[in-house]
Structure 1
């Protein structure tokens, strides 16, 4: 651990806050207080206590931010050279890396995740800006053959002002995931971070400004979904909305955008299966399944939240997996345990309700199943890594997203049965496959309905690989070159010569 990180941690535990945390909106290249003069508190999930306050915005603040974004799109940023956009994004990547330690500590405090997880998120965000910096000046169109008497070309243009509604589980990296390709394409943006985790999106906007991004090209308005998110996604000058969150909220976002015929990218979560076949490397699969569900305390849209396992290895696998789950340490994220806190008391209550309901229905709790607190302070919002065994296909533990460290086990009698179980929900975000037989793996990958398939390593891939889901998991893709498509529109120009 670096000296800077140690100093930040010491400062926080001595004062219950950090100096210099952002308190206002970032609009048109400057800090602006909320129009109504109101503020909200943000809580450290590791202690359950508020550690900072921030602006509570409303429709008037949204109007200012969208106006600034529209002006920047029609001027300095939207009409600027692609090569200059590339240079700004490269400098932004370096700015993130230069501030990585402070960003990671603040992300841990705001979200509750472990410091090592927050550090990985910051590295990922820097890589996103670096990746799309390389793409900014390579957005080429096509020429279309129409015979000797015509010249026809299709060019790519930025869609205009984009809105980004950021979730609380990965505040910094998700902000970067949408913002970097939008800026690379020449769009401008207004970000609305989750009210539970507003701080790092504000710091990102400031880093971009220092990297040379023109005023208005990136704006951040903080506050609640009703007062900020709803007017933002419904604004007539917003031409594309990128939303990550629940299915119900996603439906409302889509309806609001539809009134303006604005396009949307929706990432709405999942109930992703990990299909473990009897011929897999059992030792490797146990460790991989463990982190597929318990990373970030299970608060991952694409978490491997269902274990679909062949009956012949079920008993041994679950016994060993439960033993590993019971070994994991829990505590305040800045102390870097294996698992950090649940991001809000509301989410902790939701997880607890699911598990208590399972107990009343006599479902076997093979590991965990209890609310916890930080062992050092006795405070905070924590839930033990939990394993619920032998769940029926239509049980709510299989069909509904819990969004916590809770793994539901389903037993399959054959590979064909495993496929049926894997496809047995309305979600289609991700899936994992564990087998030594590449033919089995590729056939399952072909037949499982999901936006991304991981074979023998969950979360395989990276910034370069498209990410998104099918059915109730949403539509559209982020990351990779696919991530640029949402932020471009095609114009065809044809001339008779």
Structure 2
């Protein structure tokens, strides 16, 4: 069935292609031990559309046990064979991209074209790490002619992956693919509001040749399923993407088992635009940075820092483009889709209402909205606040919605000061024609990744992660593989 046929069928009479509704453990679908069930919602229509398993600690125990049973065999599988499986998974994912994109858009609410891009990116991640599997090398060390010393990289063991709701398939692929390449086994817990594509991916991996038990999925809420997973004594590494408070709890739980952790947390990322920049390109970049996925991106460019000399002109361009944005149900391919849940819509609305009560002026937006076709859904209008002081909550707090705050910079030094004025350090964007200035700021801004003259530049090849309250550790690139390895040193006398 084509994606157009899936969309027409669902929007017409509510029928759906086969979607998973149970855990995936030891290579097969598994009913929850205690019979728990939970609904997943169509955010564009604000109604449930499917029911999946609501797991708990008993299901986590089963999944970790399955991963432990096959860890040694998978870790000793020839690296080139592991890589071949990942490459076959990439090919299958491309073949079945329509089904995955449909489920991703419906489950998360994001526009279908964005979901299609996410699925393509996930396939690319499996391609990339398929080539990494047989490039994992140890080293030798100069200890004298009568001795030999070398290192052996070994898989960490069972790894836990807590998948966020804003980019389910993308985040799953960027963590699970390097873990599998390194020889680790996986237990994944997708967000309770977006469980579908992680389940579909686990089943696809088995069809690609992954041995049963190497990748397992337990669905459920954070407290009931996520917390038991990250605290499980059989888990040796946790990769978590989510909020700062939850990330702190994950790190504390993992510490009790002395398990390693990679945390990709929140952001309040700046987009810096100087007077010599291509303002049309910069305006397009700003629009994409804050309104893609309705601003529900950890690395969203939620702050525009603009030179005073072009402040009025730049804001006018961004406002004009924002006014032209069409909202709607994600399956209709709008420019802006809904927020993921009613609860999250409430958080965004509360942050904006608080700003308005403090006297901050919204140049555009600031209100809850609905799908213009159905008058339903969890939408928030594109919103821009101009000339916001650095100490205001609009600048300091992550809103995670389609809300842009504008700050005015007097010069390069002031722009850098404003860029570094929050507790976050995930990414930064810089628009300028001055090569030297671009790279000075890239050096001095406190961020894990910097985009020059194109926001969201790069791809799976470029390491990604945050500083300070944005977390630690790096995903993507070959750096991600190292998260899943431990190094054994071997030394001895030979003469």
TM-score by length of 1: 0.99
Q: Deviations over 1:263-289 (max 9, x none)?
A: 000000200001111111111111111
Other-structure match for 1:155: 152
Check whether the contact 1:17–1:52 (CA below 8 A) recurs between aligned residues. Answer: no
Match of 1:321 among 318, 332, 338: 318
Q: Shift of the alpha carbon at 1:20?
A: 1.2
CA distance in 2 between partners of 1:282 and 1:471 (Å)? 31
Other-structure match for 1:26: 24
Q: Please identify runs of 4+ aligned residues in structure 1 that moved more than 2 A.
A: 14-17
Q: Deviations over 1:300-325 (max 9, x none)?
A: 00000001111111111111211110
Other-structure match for 1:243: 240
Check whether the contact 1:38–1:56 (CA below 8 A) recurs between aligned residues. Answer: yes
Match of 2:65 among 64, 67, 87: 67
CA distance in 1 between partners of 2:13 and 2:78 (Å)? 46
Other-structure match for 2:366: 369
1:87 aligns to 2:84 (yes or no): yes
Check whether the contact 2:466–2:473 (CA below 8 A) recurs between aligned residues. Answer: yes
Other-structure match for 1:177: 174
CA RMSD, 1 decimal: 0.8
1:436 aligns to 2:449 (yes or no): no
CA distance in 2 between partners of 1:316 and 1:138 (Å)? 50
CA distance in 1 between partners of 2:390 and 2:278 (Å)? 26
Other-structure match for 1:129: 126
Match of 1:384 among 381, 384, 399: 381
Other-structure match for 2:116: 119
1:232 aligns to 2:229 (yes or no): yes
1:453 aligns to 2:462 (yes or no): no
Q: Deviations over 1:367-394 (max 9, x none)?
A: 1111111100111011111101111111
Q: How many residues align?
A: 494
Give 1:341-490 correspondences, 5 Å limit: 341-490=338-487
CA distance in 1 between partners of 2:384 and 2:284 (Å)? 14
Check whether the contact 2:280–2:317 (CA below 8 A) recurs between aligned residues. Answer: no
Q: Deviations over 1:317-355 (max 9, x none)?
A: 111211110100100011101111111111111111111
- SS of residue paired to 1:341: coil
Match of 2:211 among 207, 214, 218: 214
1:38 aligns to 2:11 (yes or no): no
Other-structure match for 1:48: 46
Q: Shift of the alpha carbon at 1:17?
A: 4.3
Q: Deviations over 1:149-176 (max 9, x none)?
A: 0111011110000000000000011011
Match of 1:11 among 9, 27, 30: 9
Match of 2:302 among 287, 302, 305: 305
Q: Deviations over 1:188-214 (max 9, x none)?
A: 000000000000000000000000101
Q: Shift of the alpha carbon at 1:18?
A: 1.0
Check whether the contact 1:42–1:53 (CA below 8 A) recurs between aligned residues. Answer: yes
Indicate the larger mover: 178-187 or 387-396: 387-396
Q: What stretches of structure 2 of length at least 5 have no aligned partner?
A: none
- SS of residue paired to 1:238: coil
- SS of residue paired to 2:339: coil
CA distance in 2 between partners of 1:6 and 1:441 (Å)? 43
Other-structure match for 2:337: 340
CA distance in 2 between partners of 1:395 and 1:478 (Å)? 31
CA distance in 2 between partners of 1:34 and 1:441 (Å)? 53
Q: Shift of the alpha carbon at 1:19?
A: 3.2
CA distance in 1 between partners of 2:4 and 2:454 (Å)? 33
Q: Shift of the alpha carbon at 1:364?
A: 1.6
CA distance in 1 between partners of 2:366 and 2:318 (Å)? 15
